[in-house]
Amino acid sequence: MTGEMLPWFALVLLLAVVAIVWALRLTPPWVSTVPVDDRDVCGDEPCEVMHCRTCRAPRLSSMHADGSHTCLTCLTTTAGDQ
């Protein structure tokens, strides 16, 4: 009985592995720097890619009127240029 089920189980397992590998390939690392969801967080404020000290990398940031900007990745608000 188990001898008949084994090929099917192996096939399903193979398809699952292929699907996981494919899903990982569809999400390249650069997508995480500017997530699509973060664009909605900007709202009425302009968004620009600014260097974030916390992330230590360029991040999409929401620009505020006082010159400060909030990193949309770690949500750290930097002090504006006084």
Exposed, middle or buried: residue 70 (CB in 10 Å: 0-12, 13-18, 19+)?
buried
Question: Nearer Cβ to Zn ion, position 22 or 30?
Answer: 30
Output the smallest distance, CB 72 to Zn ion, in A.
Answer: 8
71 interacts with Zn ion by CB under 5 A: yes
Rounded distance, CA 35 to CA 71, Å? Answer: 12
Q: Does 55 bind Zn ion (CB under 5 A)?
A: yes
Which one of 3-11, 16-24, 33-41, 44-52 is the stretch in contact with Zn ion (CB under 5 A)?
Answer: 44-52
Q: How far is CA 77 from the centre of its chain?
A: 19
61 binds Zn ion (CB under 5 A): no
